[in-house]
Amino acid sequence: MRDNSYAAVMGRKNEIMKRAIGIDYTTFEYEGIGFDYERMMRETGYTLDEMQEIQGRTGVGNTPLLELRNLTALARKMAAPGKGARIFIKDEASNPSGSFKARRAANAVYHAKRLGYKGVIAATSGNYGSAVASQAAMHGLKCIIVQETYDSKGVGQPEIVEKARKCEAYGAEVVQLTVGPELFYEFLMLLEETGYFNASLYTPFGIAGVETLGYELSMQCRERYGKDPDVVVCTNAGGGNLTGTARGLIKAGALETKLVGASVDLSGLHMASDTQFNKKSFTTGHTGFGVPFSTMPDRSDVPRSAARPMRYMDRYVTVTQGEVFYMTEALAQLEGLEKGPAGNTALVAAFSIAQEMDEDQIIVVQETEYTGAGKHIQPQLSFARENGIDIRFGNPADSVPGVNIILPEHPQLIKAVDLDMDKLKKSVIKNAVANHTRELLNEEEIAFLMAESKTDRAYVLKTLDELGVKY
C-alpha cells in the first residue's frame, strides 16, 4: 500500500511528474543555480512548422487580426495631436474552445497521444481546462480537470463554475476543490493513480504552442501593412502567454516589437486565502499570479517552467478591475465584439498606451477569449456585490482590491500604471540565487541570470554585489 499522506505524496512529486510528462529535467540542469532553457525548449518541443501542422489538424490557429477603429478614434480624442496608435486585437476566441489556450492544449494533447498515454490531466480554473478537454475529445483521450473553485463555505466563483460547465460539455471529468494546498496534492494523487499525462500549462509543449500566435501576428501585420507591430500587449498571469508570443515574434524576425505585460491589480489580496478568495472578480490575469510567476517562474507544477516572461518583457503595467469591466462593455458596444474579461485586461492597457504612441504606429492585443454565463459582466458584478464589494463610478485610481470596484466615469480616466521593471529584474536574480549552495557563481550561472532578467553582465554583477553573493 502506498503512503498517501500529504508529506509522502509531496515527497514523491518529482518521481510522479517524471512519469506523467516524460521529461527528465535533470538532463538540462547546470551544476549550480541555472539550467539550459533553450536546449530544453529545442529538445522537448516542436518546430514552428510542426506546431502549425499539429494545430491545423484540429482547427486551431490562423485566427483573424481585427482593427478596432472606433476604440482607436476614442483614444485619439484624448491623446495629444498626432498621437493615438491604431489598436488591433488577435481574435483567439475563434479557436475551437474559445481562447488562445487551444494552442497550448493542441500541442500537449497531441504529445500525450503520441507517447501512448490513455488520458490527460490539467490543474486549472481557467480557459486551459476547456481547451484540454476539447483537444482530448478530438484525440479520443480521457480527460480530468482539477479546479480550485470554492471557499470553505462552498461558494464558487461564477467564472470558474462556468468553465467547469464548458469542460464537462466536452466530456471531461471535473474535480472541484476548495482554495488551498490540497489542489496540488489532489493533482499529484490523480496523476499517480491514473497514469495519465500531465498536460501542464508550463511544459515546453504548451509554451511552444503559443509561438504560432506570435508568428501569425507578425506575418499578418507585414502582409497588410508592410511592417511588424510596434507594440504587442499580453495579459500576464503564469507567463506562458507572453513567453510563447515573444518567442514566436522572434522566430518571425520581429526583433524591434516591444512586449508589454498587463495584469489586473489585485495587490493586497492573497491568492491562497480562503477569506479573500471570493473578494476578487478576476480568476486569472492578475498580479496575484503575474508578479510572483514572473519573478519566480519555477513555482509551477513542473520542475522547470517553460514560461519565463521576464526573459522577454519590455514593460509591465497594471490596470484595475473596474477598467476591465468598462472596456469589456466598450468593446461590445463600440466594436460589436463581445469577449470575455481576460483579453480585455490587455485591451485596457493598449487603450492607454496607444495614447502615448504616434498615429501611424500599431499596437496589438494578442488574444481574446469567449464569453458566456458566469464570464459576463453582470454575474461578476453581482457576485462582487454579494461579497460586500462596493461598486460605483468614479476614478479607478481610487480602487482598493477586495473593497471596491470603481468603473471609470469617463474614458480619459483609464490609465495603465507601470510596475518598476528594475525592481522586478532584481527580484528575478534574488529569487534565483536564494537557495544556492555554491561558494562562487561561475560564468555559466551569470549568463543564466542575464538571460532570466533580460539584462547585461554589469547589471547582474552589481545586483549580486548588493545581495552579497560571490562570483
Max avg pLDDT among 42-51, 136-145, 267-276: 136-145
SS3 90: strand
SS3 317: strand
C-alpha cell read off for 279: 473578494
HSE (side-chain half, CA atoms, 13 Å) at 433: 28
CA pair distance 257, 106, nearest whole angstrom: 27
pLDDT at position 198 over 90: yes
CA pair distance 290, 288, nearest whole angstrom: 6
Compute the C-alpha angle 340/320/428, nearest 5°.
Answer: 100
Residue 94: is it exposed, middle or buried by C-beta count within 10 angstroms (0-12/13-18/19+)? middle
List, for residues 331-340, the tens digit of each pLDDT value: 999 999 999 8
Confidence bin at 119 (pLDDT 50/70/90): very high
CA pair distance 328, 345, nearest whole angstrom: 9
Q: Sign of torsion, CA 446 452 455 461?
A: negative
pLDDT at 445: 95
308 and 296 Cβ atoms separated by less than 8 Å? no
Write the CATH number of the domain with boundaries 6-53+100-204.
3.40.50.1100
Confidence bin at 82 (pLDDT 50/70/90): very high
148 and 179 Cβ atoms separated by less than 8 Å? yes
Domain ranges of the chain: 6-53+100-204, 58-98+208-418, 425-467
CA pair distance 226, 219, nearest whole angstrom: 9
CA pair distance 168, 186, nearest whole angstrom: 19
The pTM is what?
Answer: 0.96
pLDDT at 31: 87
C-alpha cell read off for 270: 492573497
CA pair distance 203, 418, nearest whole angstrom: 29
pLDDT at 166: 94
Task: Judge whether 6-53+100-204 and 58-98+208-418 match in fold.
Answer: yes
pLDDT at 29: 94
Write the CATH number of the domain with boundaries 58-98+208-418.
3.40.50.1100
How many residues can be counted in the chain? Answer: 471
Angle between helices 421-433 and 443-453 (to 10 degrees): 140
Q: What is the mean pLDDT of residues 280-296?
A: 93
pLDDT at position 182 over 90: no
Confidence bin at 209 (pLDDT 50/70/90): very high
Angle between helices 321-335 and 69-78 (to 10 degrees): 120
Residues 6+ positions from 378 with CB-CB distance below 8 Å: none
